[in-house]
Structure 1
Amino acid sequence: MSSAGRLLLRAPLVGVAAALVALLLVAGLVGRGDDRSAGTPVAAGPGPAAPPPSTSGSGDHAAYVVMAGAPIAVRPALPGGGYRVFGHHRFLVAYYGTAQTASMGVLGTTDPDTMQRRLMRAGRPFLEPGEQLQPVYELIVTVADASPGPNGDYSHDIPTPYVHEYLRTAHRHHALLLLDLQTGRADFPTVAKRWAWALKDPSVGLALDPEWRMGPHQVPAHVIGSVDADEVNRTSAWLSRLVRRHDLPQKLFVLHEFRLTMLPDIQRIVHRPGLAMLQHADGFGTRGQKLATYHAITRPAQFRQGFKLFYHWDIHRFTPQQVRGIRPRVSFVSYQ
């Protein structure tokens, strides 16, 4: 038995709380201050005994410590440890797309486990000394459509078994799952709430894609959509409350953009507690065109920055080293 275990067993009743804290510190289940100052986390190992069954359907990754026969829930952590998305010197690299098809991005070109191996190979060259790679699966879960569909909103949700499959893969490989919404004429808060069951999982974040947010008379792929700050703020407020209500670690919250008109009043978007808010530059083309787009839209005082690389549509695609040289600095790269 470890010294921490002996401490817990021998502690008198009045010292149980202190002994429990000592045990949790040894187990790595209690945060040690701001993750941004932390070094490389301890490698993930097998967890404690199985917790009581979850009724959320999300496979929530709360940790449990058993004392006097009763399970005590401990705040769930992010994959790799900690509670801040960009803590532990993480650099995020994603594959983007939807399930069972390559037509919308590289994520769906193969099975999830093979995708994970390819993603890690693509991501490692981005790392600078002292950093660790955080894999991300950006899965389009609500897909914009050219026809109105039964609800008249020009979008549809992918089947939930596909989402469960990517979530299980994310758990196995300590990855983040980022749910991407292309909502057509439906508003972002309404659609986001349909995915609450998955967003209760500590590994799951949310991305909004204004390109596919249509007005009342617009049709996806015929125009480039947009969303105002009020709708973004209502979505982020709901997600922030979800984080607080379920005592979750920080969630990645991504806004895609490649034209100023997509987020016309971006300066009014509010920073929310519990969310790592990131503005993601999506444009494709030559290096010069992509940099011009990036510098036109970025607001580094308001958000962290993301950058998309296209396997087929970029001309002389940026190398990882060139991406790391971009200013303002990029914290998250996705491949499509």
Structure 2
Amino acid sequence: MFRRFLVALGAAVLLATLLSACDSGNERDGLEVESTESVEAATPSGLITARADDVAAVSRFLLESASAVVLVTEQDRAAALDRARDLGVPALPDTDAGRAEAERLGARVLDADDEARDPAKPIERSTPVTIATATEPSRELLDLVTLGGGELARIARDPRRHGPSAKLLRREPDAPLLTLGASPYAVRVVRADAQTVGGGWFATRGKHLVAMYGHPSGPALGVLGEQGAEESIARVRRLVDRYEQVDPDATFVPAFEIITTVASAAKGPRGDYSARTRVAELQPLVDAAERAGVAVILDLQPGRSSFLSQAREYESLLRRPHVGLALDPEWRLGPKDKPLQRIGHVGVGEVNRVSAWLAALTRKHALPQKVFVLHQFQTQMIRDRERVRTDHPELATVIHVDGQGSPGAKFGTWRTIRAGAPEGVGWGWKNFVDEDEPMLSVAQTWAQVRPRPQLITYQ
């Protein structure tokens, strides 16, 4: 690990500046500091992210030690900050976190009225440090970092949405960096250059996935099983080419949606009417897709099992940067239900538990944003759907309207499912090669389906 030094007087100004910007209601003992030390090598080194008001985190990043600190309460804020500046020592909040940081620094604890017999001695910085903030930096903060030999940078809350911020973060990807107030996940993926299939930081924003659906075992479950891996890649590329001919200005990305657990008429060894496909059986297709720049979505039909328990079984595949997840509530059965007896459903709590788990996995390993698909062709299939969480920056949530039949019936389902949807979702459309009467052509799909779907699947 690099060593962190700063001139003591400068540290006092920095910490005091941050502290004075905090609301008293923001003083919390739990520090939301995320370090990349515990994640995979894909994560950039030397990166710490923290809340904009986390003074203790800034101190940990910048200071090796201090002979004294001033603890600041809301009642004596102005006097305590002045005292810290006069003495040239850090100012820390008078909380458990602030006192713990003072102990780490080996510092004598002062309040606003204490005499300081041993003020902190200046320490020379040995390693340049960049501080990036999503808040507007003060003049004092700019002066301080210049004095200390580092650099203060202004970045957006979500640098994936701001080109200059992304460029700044990529300029020195291995240099020590502390970010304040920016999205920890967004900073990590930009700094690691963890881009999605098709380029960029977002799985569906500004692009449209064109997917073949099925199971690699054979054609019974969809067009993806009608040929081998390399032939499937060639076929989905031809499909993408047809969309590009219709609209050369749009961005289309080839994709496979692989049925990973298959609803079964038999109970199976677990008694849940869901047959798992071994990871080893899926691996060749997933590997081939990655080499070819094809996105992959794993589709779960859990039977009497739960979506989350099944998703966990495929964590090794979901840790791959090009692999997303789909939940198919049609095949989410009750404790006494069997497949094809009725259309299944899932509660919003289960959906949100899966999305929270997948978001945490994506965040932990600094993976590109993942597609998170919810299949739906009846309103009852996702209960309390208005409460589906769509605020995970790690996920692009898509409601996939996969009804079949005549164009009129399909557009009726499309309108019904889109009504009252949670804010922030994208949309998916499915064309059934054999079941639709007739199936929309590429040109018709692109011209008639509005809004234009982020995911277009062929089964």
Global fold match (TM > 0.5): yes
Distance 1:83 1:204 in 2: 14
Report the counterpart of residue 136 of structure 1 in structure 2.
255
- Of 244, 258, 269, which residue of structure 1 is paired with 2:377? 258
Give the secondary-structure state (helix, strand or coil) at the position aligned to 2:457.
Answer: strand
Report the counterpart of residue 222 of structure 2 in structure 1.
105
- The answer on whether the counterparts of 2:332 and 2:345 sit within 8 Å (CA) in structure 1 is yes
Deviations 1:237-263 (A, max 9, x none): 000110111111100000001111111
Report the counterpart of residue 393 of structure 2 in structure 1.
273
Report the counterpart of residue 290 of structure 1 in structure 2.
410
Q: Structure 2: which amino acid aligns with 1:276?
A: A
Q: How many residues align?
A: 276
Correspondences of 1:237-252 after superposition (within 5 Å): 237-252=356-371
Distance 1:74 1:37 in 2: 15
Shift, 1:124, TM fit? 2.4
- The answer on whether the counterparts of 1:202 and 1:249 sit within 8 Å (CA) in structure 2 is yes
Correspondences of 1:15-30 after superposition (within 5 Å): none
Distance 2:388 2:422 in 1: 13
Q: Structure 2: which amino acid aligns with 1:182?
A: Q
Report the counterpart of residue 453 of structure 2 in structure 1.
330
Q: Higher mean Cα deviation, 158-167 or 98-107? A: 158-167
Q: Higher mean Cα deviation, 97-106 or 296-305? A: 296-305
- The answer on whether the counterparts of 1:99 and 1:108 sit within 8 Å (CA) in structure 2 is yes
Report the counterpart of residue 442 of structure 2 in structure 1.
320
- The answer on whether the counterparts of 1:281 and 1:306 sit within 8 Å (CA) in structure 2 is yes
CA gap 1:302/1:76 in 2 versus in 1, 3 angstroms: closer
Give the secondary-structure state (helix, strand or coil) at the position aligned to 2:221.
Answer: coil
* 5+ long unaligned stretches in structure 1: 1-12, 18-31, 39-72
Distance 1:211 1:273 in 2: 27
Whose Rg is larger? 2
- Give the alignment's Cα RMSD to 1 decimal: 2.3
Shift, 1:148, TM fit? 1.1
Report the counterpart of residue 281 of structure 2 in structure 1.
162
Give the secondary-structure state (helix, strand or coil) at the position aligned to 2:346.
Answer: coil
Give the secondary-structure state (helix, strand or coil) at the position aligned to 2:396.
Answer: strand
* 5+ long unaligned stretches in structure 2: 1-125, 131-157, 165-190
Report the counterpart of residue 148 of structure 2 in structure 1.
none
Distance 1:135 1:15 in 2: 43
Give the secondary-structure state (helix, strand or coil) at the position aligned to 1:122.
Answer: helix
- The answer on whether the counterparts of 2:302 and 2:332 sit within 8 Å (CA) in structure 1 is yes
Q: TM-score, normalised by structure 1?
A: 0.77
Structure 1 residue runs of 4 or more that deviate by more than 4 Å after TM superposition: 13-17, 35-38
- Of 427, 431, 438, which residue of structure 2 is paired with 1:305? 427
- The answer on whether the counterparts of 1:207 and 1:255 sit within 8 Å (CA) in structure 2 is yes
Greater relative contact order, per chain length (Cα 8 Å cut-off, separation 6+)? 1
1:95 and 2:212 are equivalent in the alignment: yes
CA gap 1:210/1:84 in 2 versus in 1, 3 angstroms: same
- Of 76, 79, 83, which residue of structure 1 is paired with 2:194? 76
- The answer on whether the counterparts of 2:212 and 2:236 sit within 8 Å (CA) in structure 1 is yes
Shift, 1:36, TM fit? 9.3
Give the secondary-structure state (helix, strand or coil) at the position aligned to 1:103.
Answer: helix
Shift, 1:322, TM fit? 2.1
Report the counterpart of residue 45 of structure 1 in structure 2.
none
- The answer on whether the counterparts of 2:427 and 2:455 sit within 8 Å (CA) in structure 1 is yes
Distance 2:252 2:198 in 1: 10
Q: Structure 2: which amino acid aligns with 1:148?
A: K
Report the counterpart of residue 224 of structure 1 in structure 2.
343
Q: Structure 1: which amino acid aligns with 2:216?
A: A
Deviations 1:270-317 (A, max 9, x none): 112210000001111110000000000013734111000011000121
Distance 1:132 1:15 in 2: 40
CA gap 1:312/1:37 in 2 versus in 1, 3 angstroms: farther
Distance 2:215 2:258 in 1: 5
Q: Structure 2: which amino acid aligns with 1:207?
A: A
- The answer on whether the counterparts of 1:75 and 1:247 sit within 8 Å (CA) in structure 2 is no
Deviations 1:73-108 (A, max 9, x none): 935322233221124x32210000011210000001
Q: Structure 2: which amino acid aligns with 1:237?
A: A
Q: Higher mean Cα deviation, 321-330 or 233-242? A: 321-330
Q: Structure 1: which amino acid aligns with 2:330?
A: E
